[in-house]
Structure formats: structure tokens, C-alpha cells
Chain A
Amino acid sequence: MRTVFAMHELSLMDSVFDLIAPKVRDPGKLVAVYVTVGPLSGVCADSLLFGFDLLAEERGFDHAKLVVERTSALVWCEACGREYESGDLSQGCPSCGALRRMVLSGDEFTVDGIEMEV
């Protein structure tokens, strides 16, 4: 029977630890975990932080920190043709204000790398 975490960012951090585990020879030597979270990922970066703090020590990652890179969405404005980065999709084009647009990227949710003490 699998463990179900009541707060789902805990379960997401659990997944991060599972993904990095094969690359971590000595948990006490893990220094940092690098994660990317996009505005359309559906994930709350601050809750990941909370989840990391709760779970890291119990997995022996006593000296590790979580580094979250928050990306922006890449957007193409259909009204004026401008391509821009948006961290807040409730706002329109910075040039013309239009909401008529195409979202090109922004749903990233990856663990990019880890830093190990040598």
C-alpha cells in the first residue's frame, strides 16, 4: 500500500527525492537540489519549500537546500506581434495591453540537478 500525503506538495517533494536518489551516494553530502517551476505548472513553489523542509531531514539530507527557479511564461501578443515574458497571466501585453495572445511556454516542473559535496 502506497503512502498518500495529505498535502500534495509533500508528495511532489517525495517524487523529487526518488528521482535524485540514484545519483546521491551519500545523503549527508547533498548540498543543493535545483528545481524549475513555471507559472502554468499547477505547483506552488513556496509549498515545495515547505515540503522540502519537512522531508529532507528525515531522509538524511541534513545539509541540503532547495533552490527553486521560477520561470515566466513566454507569450506572443496577437494584437501587436510582440513576444514577451509574463509572470502574471492576468495582465495583458506590456506594449498594447491586449489579452489576445498565444502562450508558448510556462508549464515547466523539473528537477534540473543536484550539488554534492566532494
Chain B
Amino acid sequence: MCDTCGCSSSIGSPEHRHVLSSLGLGREPASETIDVGMKILLKNNECASWNRARFDERGVLVVNLIGSPGCGKTTIIEAMARRLKEKMVVIEGDVRTRRDTERVIRAGSRAFQIETNGACHLDAHGIRHALENVELDGCQIVVIENVGNLVCPAAYELGEHQKAAILSLPEGDDKVLKYPALFYRIGTLLINKIDLAPYMEFNFYKAVEECKSLNKNFRAFSVSGKTGEGVDEFCGYLREQANKGGAMR
């Protein structure tokens, strides 16, 4: 028996599922247990629901775009901006700098920068604050470009209609099952930098099948933010979803 947490397996064995903090050892007082039964991200998710209600009032489709640093999030958004112009508004998330906002504005869409100053992901409160300053008139699609990261953004609802994850060819086709919490939650998989296909060994079938092993509710698009290949199709899909009313995973 584990004599620290009282479970029947020994510490270190695969069955030992309890992890304890270093505080509180050595005392066994008489105690009572009080039920709590709450989701820890409750406050974030309530704020996300509020954000979503504001977006739905305006009839805009909101996509939370997630991917590693350098996978091509901003380049894809620039390609979308050249096509969608004032119909897209972008909320940019980065630890520091306004670089991505400036790129998007030059490409033709309105953009608003959130600098997290250290946080590794955007959260619903950051988006709520951004909504006080973002002009959504005439826009059909909002893209939230999350902080470059395949890990942390997965857990945080922002008020989006769906998460879109980018996996680029140079990153390799074996990444989906390394980041299951993200790919489990996405509505769109964007396989990017397909212009590099002649120089990369990337098995598209493997990447998509691994994603299907976690998630039955996503669409896959092969794109190149650089050449624009596949971007028309992706924009067409988003406009179709926006026209349907935006409600989806």
C-alpha cells in the first residue's frame, strides 16, 4: 500500500495514479470530505461563452488558429487577407511584438494585436478585452492567431466556433499523436507548405489517419501559404460555414 496517499499500489508502479504535493506529509488528522465537482476551466469557459455570444450577435464565424512557431500561421492569414480583405478581421496573439499584426494589415485585413508578455497561449479573458477594441463591421470571418504552440492553447476555449491546427511539411508527419489534446479538438487540419513536397518525405495519409484516430469531426486541407495553393478552397469552406450560421465544432 502507498502509505502516503493510501492507495493500494506502490509508488512508481504504472498503477500508482496518485501524485502528491510535498506539503502536508506526516499528519493524519480527523477529517471530512466535501464534494466540489467543478471543471477547473469553468471561469475561462464562461468568459469564452460570453465572447461567443458577442460573435454570434454579429453573425461572424470565428476560427482559433493553432500551430508551432514558424509553421506558417501568419503566412496563411496573409494569403487569406489578400482574398478576403475587409471580410476578415484578425486577432493576433504573440508573447511580444506587433510584427504579425503589421503583416496582416499590409495584406489587406484589419488586425488587432494581443501581446501576452509571457503567457504561452491566449485565453478567453484576453479575447474579451480585445473585443472592446476590435471593429467587426462588415466582417464575416474572425481568425484568432494563437501564440505559436501545439501544447497549451488546446485546453483554452476562446469563444471560437472551431479550432484549426496547422501541421507543416518540414515538421514531419508524426506529430499528431505527440499532441493528442490539440488534434482531438480541431475542426480543421491545415497541412501547410505543400510547395515543399518534392523535398520532404511527408506521408499525408499517415498524418490524416492519425488525426482520425483521435477525432471524427475535422476537415483536412492541403495548402501553401506561400504560393496560395489550396487557400481559395479553405476560404470558400469558411465562407460557406459563415453563411450557414457559423455553429460547428
Contact = CB atoms under 8 A, between A and B. Distances in A.
Q: Do A and B come from one complex?
A: yes
Interface of A: 2, 4-6, 8, 12, 15-16, 18-20, 23, 31-32, 34-35, 39-43, 45-46, 49, 52-53, 56-57, 61-70, 87, 89-90, 99-103, 106-107, 109-118
29 contacts: A6-B119, A8-B119, A15-B40, A34-B36, A39-B181, A42-B151, A42-B155, A53-B21, A57-B23, A62-B23, A65-B21, A66-B21, A67-B5, A67-B20, A68-B18, A70-B17, A89-B177, A89-B214, A90-B178, A100-B212, A100-B213, A109-B40, A109-B155, A110-B37, A111-B37, A111-B40, A113-B34, A116-B31, A116-B33
B118 interface: yes
Interface residues of B, number: 52
A31 B23 CA distance: 10
Contact of B34 (A15, A61, A114): A114
B1 interface: no
A118 B32 contact: yes
B213 A112 contact: no
Contacts of A99: 209-210, 213
Nearest to B210: A99
Contacts of A89: 177, 180, 213-214
Contacts of B209: 99-100
Interface in B1-37: 5, 14, 17-25, 27, 29-37
Contact of A4 (B24, B39, B40, B117): B117
Interface in B176-230: 177-178, 180-182, 184, 209-210, 212-216
